[in-house]
């Protein structure tokens, strides 16, 4: 039988105030700490703009550009997918886009933090790339990317229910259960279909016709990348942009 | 207060049997020649105040999707019949929506019933397409109601129409073997 021996801690001082002591962790010199401090110093506001929202939107529009429908004459017809939030002056130029139905549009609505995927800020991300020109591997360091969920609304407008149902099944099949949304920043970003809303009207008053419009709410789980830095074998840290050669 | 009782002493004559014959004063008289007069006046008013339209007849068939109860392949005449009608031209509404600038221009078109039925060989039906001579836009009629019941005569057909949003090949290609019926009016 196991016997336990309890320590008598009656002599220990347990009432001390931890906040009255200064931590010495910050003064401990480590290579990782130096690199992190250097990266903090080199990070400027302008290098924080990666255009990830724009590229994600571009990729989302592209993802739905292959949707079409089979016409009553068994002919495949492509459908245009456009950005849903155009400036009026530019939308005017393209106003013929929605004269002929069906039409698809996609627009970004809101984005929020994803607490499940978030990393601590001080985490250093170490990536390796192969430089074909120099024929050697390079090391890229960055702080942790920010995990965000970007929400989009995919709008569908058709004249006939037969077209609407064909479009819906193609869109549903793209999310099985997720849809890859590749960008230059990530090939792993995934979009999920959250819900579907009826926007048009089926019950209409006298002298009005039915409107077949639907909105599908999509959430894209992606990351906003932190600025990246090239970490040479000599220990030098320089700013690095995707597409740069070292 | 005294209670008043009135007692009629005069006996009224018997009323004639009203159902037996029509009175000359009846307003409801479908043989009244004034109805045709009003109809001609109405037609002339529409011609004077209205404008020309290109009228593309929809050849209604029994071939439609019986699940969705809609027809994506409406056979529409390629050649237009020129008709006269009246409408209030309004500027195109250009709302900026999630589909870009959404051009909408729902219109009411008024035709003299007798005239248009004679001209196109039948009444106006939902699915017919109109193109006003004044505007370079095509409208699809989706509702037709009879209007103007003066003197128990039906003179107007009021057609609710919206911008045609079918593909251009649907508008331009004759989808039927039925030849276009070019109508005439008053022997013209």
Name which of B66, B74, B100, B166 to mutate to probe chain A: the one with the most chain A Cβ atoms within 10 A of its Cβ: B100
In this prediction, the answer to ipTM > 0.85 reads no
Q: Quick check: B72 contacting A, CB < 8 Å? A: yes
CA distance A239 to A244: 10
Number of Cβ pairs < 8 A linking chain A and chain B: 76
* Among chain B residues, CA nearest to A108: B98
pLDDT at B3: 67
Q: If contacts are CB pairs under 8 Å, which of residues 4-63 in chain B contact chain A?
A: none
Chunked into runs of 10 residues, chain A (246 residues) has average pLDDT values of: 66 70 68 83 77 92 93 89 88 79 93 91 85 87 91 94 95 94 87 92 83 94 90 84 56
Predicted TM-score (pTM) of the model is 0.77
Q: If contacts are CB pairs under 8 Å, which of residues 123-182 in chain B contact chain A?
A: 142-143, 160, 162-163, 165-168
pLDDT at B38: 86
pLDDT at B182: 40
The more confidently predicted of residues A100 and B86 is: B86
Q: How confident is the model at residue B159 (pLDDT cuts 50, 70, 90)?
A: very high
Q: B52-76 pLDDT, tens per residue?
A: 999 999 988 888 888 999 988 888 8
């Amino acid at each position: 039988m196991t016997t336990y021996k309890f320590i008598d801690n009656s002599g220990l001082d347990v009432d001390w105030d931890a906040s009255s002591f200064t931590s010495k962790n910050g003064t401990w010199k480590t290579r990782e700490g130096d690199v992190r401090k250097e990266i903090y110093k080199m990070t400027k506001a302008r290098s924080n703009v990666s255009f990830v929202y724009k590229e994600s939107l571009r990729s989302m529009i592209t993802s739905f550009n292959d949707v079409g429908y089979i016409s009553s004459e068994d002919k495949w017809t492509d459908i245009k997918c456009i950005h849903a939030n155009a400036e009026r002056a530019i939308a005017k130029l393209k106003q013929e886009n929605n004269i002929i139905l069906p039409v698809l549009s996609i627009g970004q609505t809101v984005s929020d933090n994803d607490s499940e995927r978030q990393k601590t800020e001080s985490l250093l991300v170490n990536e390796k790339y192969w430089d074909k020109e120099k024929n050697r591997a390079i090391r890229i360091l960055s702080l942790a990317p920010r995990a965000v969920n970007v929400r989009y609304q995919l709008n569908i407008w058709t004249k006939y229910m037969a077209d609407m149902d064909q479009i819906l099944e193609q869109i549903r099949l793209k999310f099985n259960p997720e849809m890859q949304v590749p960008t230059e920043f990530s090939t792993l970003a995934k979009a999920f279909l959250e819900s579907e809303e009826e926007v048009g009207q089926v019950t209409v008053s006298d002298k009005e016709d039915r409107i077949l419009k639907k909105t599908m709410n999509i959430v894209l789980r992606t990351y906003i990348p932190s600025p990246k830095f090239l970490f040479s074998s000599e220990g030098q840290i320089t700013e690095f942009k995707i597409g740069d050669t070292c | 207060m005294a209670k008043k009782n009135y007692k009629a002493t005069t006996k009224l004559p018997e009323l004639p049997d009203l159902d037996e014959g029509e009175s000359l004063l009846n307003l409801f008289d479908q043989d009244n020649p004034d109805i045709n007069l009003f109809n001609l006046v109405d037609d002339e008013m529409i011609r004077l105040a209205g404008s020309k339209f290109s009228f593309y007849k929809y050849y209604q068939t029994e071939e439609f999707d019986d699940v969705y109860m809609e027809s994506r392949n409406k056979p529409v005449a390629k050649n237009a019949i020129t008709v006269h009608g009246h409408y209030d031209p309004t500027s195109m509404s250009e709302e900026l929506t999630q589909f870009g600038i959404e051009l909408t221009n729902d219109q009411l078109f008024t035709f003299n019933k007798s005239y248009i039925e004679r001209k196109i060989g039948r009444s106006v039906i939902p699915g017919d397409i109109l193109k006003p001579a004044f505007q370079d836009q095509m409208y699809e009629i989706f509702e037709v109601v009879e209007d103007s019941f003066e003197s128990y005569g039906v003179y107007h057909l009021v057609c609710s129409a919206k911008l045609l949003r079918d593909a251009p090949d649907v508008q331009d290609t004759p989808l039927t073997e039925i030849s276009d019926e070019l109508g005439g009016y008053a022997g013209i």
